[in-house]
Structure 1
């Protein structure tokens, strides 16, 4: 049965392409945050360990919501490390930086995800896709808030 939600197929594909980038950013940020949760050390261990756990749980749920929105648009969602690696601009961390570098990397990651969110909202607006724009506006606000909270630790 054909998808008929009031958005042309070409527009759904364009929006899904942007959502796929956001999904890749979200999943990459999830992996990095979870790794930092496991490996953080230093005088701020307890607060950062707890904060990172809250953040990676939020990102995990967000990834599912984004992937499901891609499916609503009748496009298959990317789901492999290699696909995510091609779509994201968040740099992978193969080592274990100190706590301050962890926080700096997460700030940068959330800022990248915020920029990707803005581009996705613009694509959704052009096509009249209020559902995607609404969902991604929530993601944008979450990334901006998390970046601010993490940045505050560095002052």
Structure 2
């Protein structure tokens, strides 16, 4: 049985040289790997809710969550590649995702549509907060490239939270 690689044990052949200090890079890499795990978890939860949507707004919510899941998944490769550009290792499998994720799974057989939207809004809001914290680390490390990526993703994440809020609010306003 092969040993599991750790994201902190970088083989010399994969240690991409970079002019940002080693301790700073290690902190940013660790934070980006947590964000990557959260991104996979949020993607799966969004797809789960997309697949199991029901009710009178089925079509609108189904399409909204499909659009949002595509946007979330689109972050995964640039996040992982940024870790590699920094000379770190990124996630190797779902076990590492499970270990690092802060976004909790929802495996319930049925979740009411309004609760789906509310839960995803809370998750996206938490994700934006975690991204802002990672951005602060990047600023301290003078890692402008990663900070720039995070700025765009923070805006996208806040937009998703806004759409989820407004979609849920329209239900409440309608009575």
Report deviation, 1:86.
2.2
Asked if 1:51 is matched to 2:64, the reply is: yes
What is the aligned length?
155
Where does residue 99 of structure 1 map in the other structure?
113
Aligned to 1:130: 144
Query: What's the offset of the Cα at 1:82?
Result: 2.3
Segment of structure 1 superposing worse, 137-146 or 83-92: 83-92
**Coordinate RMSD, CA, aligned:** 1.3
Structure 2 unaligned blocks of 5 or more = 1-12, 170-175
In structure 1, runs of 5+ residues without a counterpart are none
The list of structure 1 runs, each at least 4 consecutive aligned residues, that deviate by more than 3 angstroms after superposition, is 1-4
- Counterpart of 2:49 in structure 1 is 36
Is this contact kept in 2: 1:21–1:116, CA < 8 A? no
- Give the TM-score taking structure 2 as reference length: 0.84
Query: Which residue number corresponds to residue 74 of structure 2?
Result: 61
Distance 1:41 1:3 in 2: 47
Greater helix share, 1 or 2? 1
